[in-house]
Amino acid sequence: MMRALSNSRYADVSRPSLAAQRARLLLALAPVALLAAGLFAATAHAVEVRFEPVAEGVYAFVGELGGRTAVNEGLNANLGLVVTPAGAVLIDSGATLQGARQIHEAVRRVTSQPVRWVVNTGGQDHRWLGNGYFRAQGAELIAHTAGEADMRSRGNDHVEALRAALGAKADGTVPTLPDRWLKQPDERLELGGVVFEFKHRGGAHTPGELLVWLPQQRVLFSGDAVYVDRLLGVLPVSRTLPWLATFAEIERLQPQKLVPGHGRVTDLATARADTRDYLQALRAHMKKAVDDGTDISAAVKSFDARPFMRLLNAAELMPGNASRVYLELERE
């Protein structure tokens, strides 16, 4: 009978102790807890922005080397931070509104100073699409006027591409143009008492490519004029002849520390090997092909890419880069 099971003679064998019941419950709930933790992690930030010191008062965040993904939230480019007595200077604002919030959180872990100035080094999404967030915080946005048309023409396309790649993590992102357009090839500003020199040599990866030189610290933020560890990308808006002129300016400056657009904080020798040498080799090969009347397909296939296949994304980007340089040399 049912009642017999409840008396003390059967208690130990028919019903586990309270401690055993708790242990079984914890085991049963463990997969649920893991699933909940996974769901929480998916909604939390998948990548942490952390600014590391480069020189006194100067910091860099080194983004992932791969493309834009929901995992890296489009934060796959390097950013800079300079702390001055009168406020912080942010070099590039990230690709999205949500990414800009993360960047600001990272700035706050370094300094209590407000972000008063944001410099956009180029027209790629991760250089300026976080501008709207920082303007709302009261920052002045600075870029070179040579990049204005590019930003205007490609801004909405960038946002659509980010929505496709990042999903909801791109929500709220609105292209926001700079407030101050630099007009000269060389301009010097004192921001918060720190000297900044801005150098534009006609474009590079994008038309507004801007070098940010800190002469007192001898640190250069190159934007996408320099890639290390991964192959650079030649876009339809890229121009490789002024890109090499931009690199010549970098060589003239002889920075002690060079923060590239992509890849680890580096030196001039590595920048030469990973950026300049590739551009020179590609232009030399394609110029000869154009001069000799070689078909573009044959020219692309005959380029000796072996010295550069060590770089991430080389196999993927090499054919498109070669084709665009051939077409650029035809126009020259």
Confidence of residue 9 (pLDDT cuts 50, 70, 90): very low
According to the model, what pLDDT value does residue 47 have? 79
Where does 52-268 sit in CATH, by number? Answer: 3.60.15.10
Q: What sign results for the dihedral spanned by CA atoms 262, 186, 110, 88?
A: negative
Q: In the 8-state DSSP scheme, what is residue 221?
A: E
Residue 5 predicted with pLDDT over 90: no
Separation in Å, CA 330 to CA 18, 185, 286, 304, 326: 82, 26, 9, 20, 6
Query: Average of pLDDT values for 16-45?
Result: 42
Confidence of residue 199 (pLDDT cuts 50, 70, 90): very high
Confidence of residue 180 (pLDDT cuts 50, 70, 90): very high
Query: Average of pLDDT values for 105-116?
Result: 98
Supply the mean pLDDT for the chain.
Answer: 89
Confidence of residue 326 (pLDDT cuts 50, 70, 90): very high
Rounded to whole angstroms, the Cα distance separating 173 from 178 reads 15
According to the model, what pLDDT value does residue 286 have? 98
The edge-to-edge listing of strands for the beta sheet with 219-227 is: 186-191, 194-199, 211-214, 219-227, 257-262
Q: What is the pLDDT of residues 209-227, one digit of tens each?
A: 999 999 999 999 999 999 9
pTM: 0.86
| For the chain, domain boundaries | 52-268
Confidence of residue 271 (pLDDT cuts 50, 70, 90): very high
Query: Average of pLDDT values for 169-191?
Result: 98
